[in-house]
Chain A
Amino acid sequence: MADIKIPAGSFKPLTQDTHEAQEKISAPSLTFTQDALRRLKQNKVAVVSLIVLLIVMLAALLAPVIAPQSPNTQNVAYANLPPKIGSGNIPGFTGKMNVGGVEVDKYQQAGVPKGKTFILGTDYLGRDLLSRILYGTRLSLLIGILATLVDLLIGIPYGIVSGWRGGRLDMFMQRVTEIISSIPNLIVVVLMMLVLRPGLLSIVIAIGFTGWITMARLIRAQTFQLKEQEFVLAARTLGESSTKIAWKHLIPNLSSTIIIQTMFTIPSAIFFEAFLSFIGIGIPAPNASLGTLLSDGQKAFRFLPYQMWYPAAVLCVIMIAVNLLADGLRDAFDPKS
């Protein structure tokens, strides 16, 4: 101990301001959202999913610009042409088909002029599949988003009112959701589709009407917790109106729950649309949605599998990407799980 060299003056008491300098917290502070976004950015799977989704959404949005032709233009002469790109050198996009063991150039057979190709082929009415898929994706995404909006518009106010008011009203509202949730939502959707005329609006209403229960439940539980917290109590004591408290204090604190749940609602709405169209009570012909494309594709699936492949692939890619992103968002906003 004694042989440690200690410079003279070392044993002077430290002055007060060095104390303060040393007590400074050096790490920058992040808000909750910043922190969540940072975690989300680190999640490669979620970022890739987000990019994929953005590309799909952009393609759907630009469908009128990038689609080779109108999705509903029929040309029976060109029916069931296989996919072909350029002069047909790319495997899988040759424009040829194996008919009874013989390779047949379908384009030649149908008398398609040289240079005209259908990248993803045509369907049984000679409609361009790529154009139909682009428009179909657009319609499916639109339904997904609109149905989710309906879900939010019912679910959030319902949950907040139920949780905020509590008491008898809450009891009653809880019973209502319990009863609705014990009817398989598919059946409600189907019944509503039968009563309403098939179409975009009725699908949106039917899906939105059955989808809000989960959202309402989550919001109610959260509201219950929030309303006991100091900042809400303070606002109440200061005499702020309930509506104002809901907007200023509840919604911001509920936002992560809402975002995450929304991300789970969108794929289920897209699924329901596809499902309804698949069993034939969804989007009416001739409009294309991913569901109707799948339904058409399935009929000729054994012999013209490409008519099913591409819509199925697009649907699966959208569903997987949304779910992966939702998963990433949940991890980012709720680091515990």
Chain B
Amino acid sequence: MSKYLIKRIFYLVLTLFIVASVTFFMMKLMPGTPYTNQEKMSADQLRIMNEQYGLNKPLIQQYFIYLGGLLHGDFGTSFQFNNQPVLSLIMTRLGPSLQIGAQAMIVGSLLGILLGAVAAIRKNTWVDGVATFFSIVGISIPNFVLAVLLQFFLAFKLQLFPIALWDGWSSSILPTLALAVAPLANTARFMRTEMVDVLNSDYIELAKAKGNSKWQTVAKHALRNSMIPVVTIIGPMAVNLMTGSLVVENIFSIPGIGEQFVKSIMTNDYPTIMGLTIFYSFLLTVIILVVDILYGIIDPRIRLSDSQGAH
């Protein structure tokens, strides 16, 4: 297990290194300059600015300075946004994003598991049809369209929620809903497939042959066995939520990192774009690693064959 873990962490670091390098050089290729009112600046001013941000040094040197900084948690300084250090900019905006993301993931996966399980148990009935149709619609409707629809009907027309404002839990409901639908639909589809497989398996028949009623069989044997693999889609789900957060945070004016990312793109704020790219990759790789470890813990087949092996 520990050997496996070390290997995984090595790849994690390697991945982040590659991401950082690629991002750095891509940013250097980017057209346009980072300064908002460049037209008004004199050549001298530009030179001073470049010196201040270290942009006058050779590219390779800039690269190593940047990598060195990353090792100390120094993501550079934002060109915009009051010259804040990028890391602190990310940290101040992390809270709302994490809150909405976590809420959406919990709501989405729990409801998704429920929906998928019901669909599998009632396979090939109208219940299954409705559930399948709903999950395909859920996957199909882009989350930004959904966000705008929710905003229009529930906030603007019915005035049940604030339209676009970050103030208290109630303002997190609509963005959470907008983000949760895709994970919900994905989980439901995945869960249904797994559960149909499990319900067709021999051990479920044996469970019935033991005298378990239909519901006992589901509760004691089918649910656990079909839920274990669902853990594996947490990774893709996290990606989905990250993508969604960029627009959903914008639409609902939530001061999160997604909104920040879009803003930075609009203003050519390289250090922030780079910092956020690395941060997103870090988040994702860590989530995938944690999910893999978690999977090993909850699935006895992996857990035991890895640590002690067969007798």
Contact = CB atoms under 8 A, between A and B. Distances in A.
Contacts of A322: 140
B265 interface: yes
A111 to B, nearest CB: 30
Contacts of B273: 191, 194
A179 B141 contact: no
Given A302-B152, A312-B145, A320-B140, A279 B280 contact: no
Given A195-B29, A279-B247, A301-B148, A184 B280 contact: yes
Interface residues of A, number: 40
Given A294-B144, A305-B152, A190 B242 contact: no
A55 B141 CA distance: 20
A275 B143 CA distance: 9
B144 A194 contact: no
Contacts of A178: 11, 15
A170 interface: no
Contacts of B242: 184, 186
A195 B281 contact: no
Contacts of B281: 182-184, 187
A184 B243 contact: yes
B26 A179 contact: no
B136 interface: yes
A315 B142 CA distance: 9
A320 B15 contact: no
Interface string A314-337: 011001101110010000000001
B145 A184 contact: no
Contact of A337 (B27, B193, B277, B284): B193
B285 interface: yes
A274 interface: yes
Interface in A167-188: 175, 178-179, 182-187
A191 B246 contact: no
B34 to A, nearest CB: 12
A267 interface: yes
Contacts of B250: 279
Contacts of B247: 275, 278-279
B234 to A, nearest CB: 14
Interface string A117-137: 000000000000000000000
B140 A195 contact: no
Interface in A112-169: none
B203 interface: no
Contact of A294 (B18, B19, B145, B239): B145
B48 interface: no
B243, B246, B250 interface centre (most CB from chain A within 10 Å): B243
A281 B140 CA distance: 22
A183 B23 CA distance: 11
Contact of B15 (A182, A278, A327): A182
B239 A186 contact: yes
A320 B137 contact: yes
Nearest to A274: B142
Interface in A189-215: 190-192, 194-195, 197
9 contacts: A183-B19, A186-B242, A194-B30, A274-B142, A275-B247, A301-B148, A302-B156, A316-B140, A327-B136
Interface of B: 11-12, 14-15, 18-19, 22-23, 26-27, 29-31, 132-133, 136-137, 139-142, 144-145, 148-149, 152, 156, 193, 196, 239, 242-243, 246-247, 250-251, 261-262, 265-266, 273, 277, 280-281, 284-285, 288
Given A191-B26, A320-B141, 9 more contacts: A182-B12, A274-B142, A279-B246, A294-B145, A312-B148, A316-B141, A316-B145, A320-B137, A327-B132
Interface of A: 45, 175, 178-179, 182-187, 190-192, 194-195, 197, 267, 271, 274-275, 278-281, 294, 298, 301-302, 305, 308, 312, 315-316, 319-320, 322-324, 327, 337
